[in-house]
Every structure is written in C-alpha cells, then in structure tokens.
Amino acid sequence: MLDVDQVSVRYSSTVTLRDVSLSLAPSRTLAVVGESGAGKSTLINAILGLVPCPTGHVTWDAKPVRKCRPALVMQEPRSAFNPRMSLRRSVKEPLRGRQLDEDRLARLCSGLEIAPDLLDRRPAEVSIGQAQRVGILRALIAAPPLVLFDEPLSALDAVTQKHTARLIAQMQREEGFAALIVTHDLGYAAAFAEEIAVLRAGRIEELTPARAFVDAPQTAYGRTLRDAAFALGAFERVA
C-alpha cells in the first residue's frame, strides 16, 4: 500500500507541496486533479523520489517506495520513448536485463490491443494513441505494484481517450496494480477513479469519493472545477 505522509517539497524559495498525505491500496485508483502549477507533477516526482522531500515520507508497504519499482506513464507518448530504438527494445528496459517473458508480453499486448508487429517500429512510425498504449505496456511489463499516470490521455482525441481509459481499467483488474492518476480532466477522474484528491497551491483541498464529487464537491474550489468540467461538456448531467 502506498503511503504518502506529510510530504512537503520546495523549489528554491517556492513551496510546491505542503503537508500532503494520502494513501492508496492495491487495485485501487486515486485521481489527483487541479490546475497548472497546483503541484500535481511535483507530487509524482516526490513519490518517485525524483525530487528530495525534506519533510515527510513516501513508503510502499512500510518500505521506501523505490524498492517496489513503481512505473510511470507519461503525458507525451512519442517523446517518452528513445526515438532511435524500436518500441520492443524500449518496452524491455524496465526488466533491467532480466529475461522477457514472451507469454506475458503477448498477454499484455492482446489486452492493450497492440498488434505484435507494432513493437518492431520506432516511436515516430506509430500513431499517438498506439504510442500511448505501448507506453502503458512498458509500464506494466515488470509487473509493478504501483503505476503513476501523468496526464495519460491529454495528447489523445476524445474517442481514443475513452478507449484507452477503458483499457487501463481492464489491465488494472487483471494485474491488480494501484493507480495514481494525475489529470486535469475531471470527467476521466470521475468515471475511472474511486477517489478524487483536489490539489490546490500544493495542498490537498479535498479528498472525496469520485461519484460523490460529481454530485457535491465538499469545497468551493471543488465546485469551481466541477462546474468548469460541466461547461466543457465532460459530463452531461450534474445534480
């Protein structure tokens, strides 16, 4: 289980995360929403240990989180790969030299609707939607217990977004990983996460079950986000 306990992060004189605490159990999904600059990406970096956290702890099952080798799915699918390497070679990287289990690869490819020959291409030779599905494949290949998604759908078109969201949910049911999804798309968060954490100016403003958030956010800022998503047509009906 992921445990983020009172984490604060500072970049020079600016505090970007303040006393953030949250937890996430296996097979569960937490969406972190908020505006640009709220600290969403910093939270991911803090969990991955990519920025120092002078205060607070991030643990997985009471051990430092890096021991569980969490995986990351990035926002820009094509630039997340080495452009000179075949996708197959990139996908094998998280295994760190261990033998690739071809059966597992075939199973994941079929679940993510990746044609077997697609992996022999380079990132520039596939569509953005395909590249993002391969990004998810790379994240899952070493069977991590925790997968972080940084705006995984924002580069995709509306229909592909929803299709990819469904594939992620299906893979999660099969693999049982905990998913922490950072997104500005409240529609995605409401439809696919169990809980929504609203991050504002580095603080968690509210933490609410997803469907309850759509009906009745607990804070005024939560209502602003919900109403904006409604105005942009992410959902049709709001109580």
Partner 1 sequence: MTIAATGLSAMRAGRTILYPTDVEIRPGERVGLVGASGSGKSTLGHALVDKLRAQGAHVAHVPQSPDEALDPLRSMAFHWREAERARTLAPDPARQQTLFNALHIEDGDLRKRPWGWSRGMQQRFVIAMALIGTPDLLVMDEPTSALDPVVAAGTIDLLDAHLADRDTALLLITHDLGLAARRVHRLMVMDDGKIVEDSPIKRLLMAPMTPAAKALCAHRNWLELPC
* Binding positions for partner 1, rule: CB under 8 A: 35-36, 127-129, 156-163, 166, 184-188, 190-191, 214, 224-225, 227-229, 231-237
Nearer Cβ to partner 1, position 67 or 166? Answer: 166
What span, in angstroms and rounded, lies between the C-alpha atoms of 199 and 37? Answer: 10
Nearer Cβ to partner 1, position 28 or 184? Answer: 184
Nearer Cβ to partner 1, position 60 or 192? Answer: 192
Closest C-alpha to 126, from 155, 167, 169: 155
Nearer Cβ to partner 1, position 100 or 158? Answer: 158
Please, what is the minimum distance in Å from the beta carbon of residue 30 to partner 1?
17
Neighbours of 228 (CB within 10 A): 13
Nearer Cβ to partner 1, position 120 or 227? Answer: 227
The region that residue 110 occupies, defined by phi over 0 for left and psi between -120 and 50 for alpha, beta otherwise, is alpha
β-bridge partners, 180 = 30, 148
> Is the separation of the CB atoms in 116 and 106 below 8 Å?
yes
Nearer Cβ to partner 1, position 107 or 211? Answer: 211
What span, in angstroms and rounded, lies between the C-alpha atoms of 235 and 213? Answer: 13
Tokens describing residue 169: 């949910």
Please, what is the minimum distance in Å from the beta carbon of residue 182 to partner 1?
13
